[in-house]
Amino acid sequence: MVKISPSVLSADFCRLSAEVEDIRRGGAEYVHVDVMDGIFVPNISIGLPVVESLRKATDMFLDVHLMIDRPHRYVERFCAAGADLVTVHAEADQPQDLFACIETIKAQGKKVGMSVKPKTPAEVLLPYLPQLDLVLVMTVEPGFGGQRFMHDMLPKIERLRRFINEQNPGCELEVDGGVDPVTAPLCKQAGANVLVAGSAVFKHADRAEAIRAIRQA
Ligand code: DX5
Ligand code: ZN
């Protein structure tokens, strides 16, 4: 069964713990936390203190997506703040520092993910794939919620599903950006098993219904 990871980027930050409780009751498996630094992406969102607060507020799995430049500087602190999974971008660091990110995150007993932006080919992830717990395919340009799903990313999802099955079958394949009840079945068909959804969950009054609609679509 596919896992749903609602992105709190589209939640009401003034009532974040209630929002998270809402998606927990609605059956979501993960909480997706989008961290942006205004450099790797043209937007600034939330960071370490919010992850720490979320860790105190919930026992849900915290799926932390770092859209920050040179993430090796911060991965240890995001683990300590309470992330269960830390995902870094392949474009954001030098290869030796990406390998260092993987080592550091694993040494903290946490799961490690790596993400690619729409223009980055799937093959870029191959050197890291044997060590990854999750691969994240961006289906919008990272930086903002509420954008339209890029259908031309579907072949990349299929390609990564093939690489994962051949080289690291336990690795999860997550899709992020523009996922809703219309695009979710396309992602699943292409081989994704974790779906991030921001606006499709949090802009919907009934979160349980929104999650169900994405899962069952
Ligand atoms: C975009 C973020 C996404 C975003 C998804 O940079 O990584 O997680 O919140 O939002 P929707 O589902 O609205 O596209
Ligand atoms: Zn994200």
Model pLDDT, residue 84: 99
- Per-position DSSP letters for 125-156, written without gaps between them: GTTTGGG-SEEEEESS-TT-SSPPP-GGGHHH
Interatomic CA distance for residues 183 and 186, integer angstroms: 5
Q: What is the pLDDT of residues 136-155, one digit of tens each?
A: 999 999 999 999 999 999 99
Average pLDDT over every residue of 112-133: 98
**Predicted confidence (pLDDT) at residue 68 exceeds the cutoff of 90:** yes
Interatomic CA distance for residues 100 and 147, integer angstroms: 32
3-state secondary structure of 100: helix
Asked if 208 and 174 touch (Cβ cutoff 8 Å), the reply is no
For all residues of the chain together, what is the average pLDDT?
98
Model pLDDT, residue 81: 98
Residues with CB under 6 A from ligand 1: 7, 9-10, 32, 34, 65, 140, 142-143, 145-147, 176-179, 196-200
Average pLDDT over every residue of 194-205: 98
Test site for ligand 1: of 176, 194, 207, 214, most ligand atoms within 8 A of the Cβ: 176
Interatomic CA distance for residues 79 and 210, integer angstroms: 30
Model pLDDT, residue 217: 85
Identify the residue whose tokens are 């336990």: 170
